Amino acid sequence: MCNSTVTQSLVAIEKINTEVKEIILILIISIFILVAIREYRKVNLFHKNGKQTTGKIIGNKEEEGIDGIYFHPIIEFETTNGEIFQGKAPNGREYKKYKLNDLVELVYEIENPTDFVLSSDIGTKNITWIMPLVISSFLIITLLFVFGK
């Protein structure tokens, strides 16, 4: 009788552990899907609401990345309202591509000019939403196969 109770308790604990693992995996999937949606909307905003202008390189910021040092150009540009903004370009490079006072084309959000991207990087921003979606798809498949038993 005692062994039966212990066995039932262990089975109940295992069931709870499995349910907790499923919930955690579902939360992770949800986060990846939300990131994908946010990036997709951001790319669309640049295409729909973005304003193109020319900026000037006023510096480079070095940042340590996973596989080395990356250089982010610091850019100063003027909006259509005549406001001057300075900011770090979101995409870094493994080398100093731009020199001080170089002119670059960029696109900024009219509502939030601090959110901008170099025109040459718009093609790479188009795919940033795909990776979280692919990862979440693999996690969904994992959820179905591992916990679907």
The reply to whether 92 and 112 lie within a common domain is yes
- Verify that 28 and 80 share a domain, yes or no: no
Q: Which of 105, 89, 109, 125 is nearest to 46 (CA)?
A: 109
61 and 90 in a single domain? The answer is: yes
Cα Rg, the chain, nearest whole Å? 24
**Residue in the structure block whose two tokens are 């499995």:** 18
pLDDT tens track, the chain, 149 positions: 456 665 666 666 676 677 777 788 788 888 878 887 777 777 666 667 788 899 999 998 888 877 778 888 899 999 988 999 999 987 767 666 788 999 998 888 888 888 888 877 765 555 666 777 777 777 778 777 776 65
Q: Based on the fold, state whether residues 97 and 135 are members of the same structural domain.
A: no
Query: Residue 101 maps to which CATH number?
Result: 2.40.50
For residue 89, what are the domain limits? 50-124
Q: What pLDDT, on the 0 to 100 scale, is given for residue 47?
A: 66
Cβ neighbors of 100 (< 8 A, separation 6 or more) are 57, 58, 59
pTM: 0.55
Neighbours of 121 (CB within 10 A): 16
Asked whether residue 104 falls in the same domain as residue 54, the answer is yes
What 8-state DSSP symbol labels residue 93? B
The total number of structural domains in the chain stands at 2
Q: Are residues 82 and 61 in the same domain?
A: yes
Q: Are residues 111 and 142 in the same domain?
A: no
Between CA 43 and CA 41 the distance in angstroms is: 5
